[in-house]
Amino acid sequence: MVWHAFMLNPRFMRSLCHKEILYRLPMPWEKIHEAIRNRDWTFTLKDADARCFRDETGLHADLLDEFSTWADTVGTPLTPFVGFSVPRKPIVGHEKALVQKYRDHFAWADKDLAAKLKDAVVRQSEFVDKMNNHLWIRSPALGGTLSRAIHRYGDFLHLLRLCPGRTIVPTLDIDLVWHTHQCSSPKQYAEAMEDMVGRFVNHDDTIAKDSLREGFDFSQSLWHVHLGTEYRVCGCWDCEALLSAVDDLQAKEEAGVATNMEDVTNLSLEVQKVVTYYRAVEVSVRAQRRLPVMRDEASVARF
């Protein structure tokens, strides 16, 4: 969670870690997906991975569990009171040199790093909540949503290249792809930005809301002028499923397959049926009930 938030502040991470191996490490998505159960989002490390973490860091792999299961270590006092004092002896010459050595060794360190990373995690929680509200990961049109978002991200980078002195504010779907790109590894992200945009591009999540609104209005106007399409997308399951179905229909027409108005009408009804089914599945998952069955499996296969 902290590593993820750190990567989403690329300028901050570059200033601290550009010479460290962490700067070249990508987010291990495959391992993450293996550890998270899709149905209830529980996180469980494999025994081998947990042992590896414990051996490398000396820490328990599940820190929350460790904090909640501390053993009772209160003992019986041997005596009711023990008086003691610590004499204030001056630091001798060789000890001063040792203290200075440690100071010099850590002089480069950001003393407020922990607080800054905590703030970064809190800021990213708002984006996580938005993603959870849209629940694209359970959407019947997930593939189409991501495909369109990746294409729009390419257009977003094009606008960044055109307007180096302006703040271009992404939509939610574009921001999701941008986040994923940053997690490819800070070094790879920086090199990709130099190649595609012509400069290093920071992802600044500390911009004030008023400035974000102004930046979004400008971004929307710029998008309309250069691309001629809507910038803001709804993102709900119904709209995304309908867009995916229309994309499929257009692909058929481009391949020479004839279509008519009846196909369009049937498409709308089919989308409605599939989205209704997926919503019923989600309700059953949350209520821990038996999952409903879709009788027409061919409809689900389309999406």
Round to whole Å and give the CA distance between 211 and 209: 5
**Amino acid letter, 267:** L
More confident residue, 63 or 260: 63
**pLDDT at residue 225, as a whole number:** 97
Tell me what the mean pLDDT of segment 55-60 comes to. Answer: 88
CB atoms within 10 A of CB 252: 13
Contact 27, 7 (CB under 8 A): yes
Quick check: 70 pLDDT over 70? no
Token digits of residue 167: 């703040």
Cα 182 from chain centroid (whole Å): 9
Query: Euclidean distance between the first and final Cα of the chain, in Å?
Result: 31
**pLDDT at residue 96, as a whole number:** 77
Whether pTM exceeds 0.85: no
Round to whole Å and give the CA distance between 118 and 110: 14
φ, ψ (nearest 5 deg) of residue 36: -105, 125
**pLDDT at residue 99, as a whole number:** 79
Quick check: 300 pLDDT over 70? no
Round to whole Å and give the CA distance between 134 and 87: 63
**pLDDT at residue 97, as a whole number:** 80
> Counting beta carbons within 10 angstroms of the beta carbon of residue 167, is it exposed (0 to 12), middle (13 to 18) or buried (19 or more)?
middle
Unique residue bearing structure tokens 């574009």: 174
Quick check: 81 pLDDT over 70? no
Tell me what the mean pLDDT of segment 140-157 comes to. Answer: 97
pLDDT confidence of 103, banded at 50, 70, 90? confident
- Summarize pLDDT for 108-139 with one digit per residue, the tens: 667 788 899 999 999 999 999 999 999 999 99
**Amino acid letter, 281:** V
Contact 135, 282 (CB under 8 A): yes
Using a pLDDT cut of 70, give the percent of the chain over it: 87
CB atoms within 10 A of CB 269: 10
Using a pLDDT cut of 90, give the percent of the chain over it: 63
Give the closest residue to 249 by CA, choosing from 261, 237, 238: 261
- Summarize pLDDT for 242-257 with one digit per residue, the tens: 999 999 888 888 888 7
CB-side neighbour CA atoms (13 Å) of 264: 6
Give the closest residue to 17 by CA, choosing from 2, 6, 27: 6
Token digits of residue 160: 């960044």
> Counting beta carbons within 10 angstroms of the beta carbon of residue 243, is it exposed (0 to 12), middle (13 to 18) or buried (19 or more)?
middle
**pLDDT at residue 41, as a whole number:** 86
**pLDDT at residue 102, as a whole number:** 77
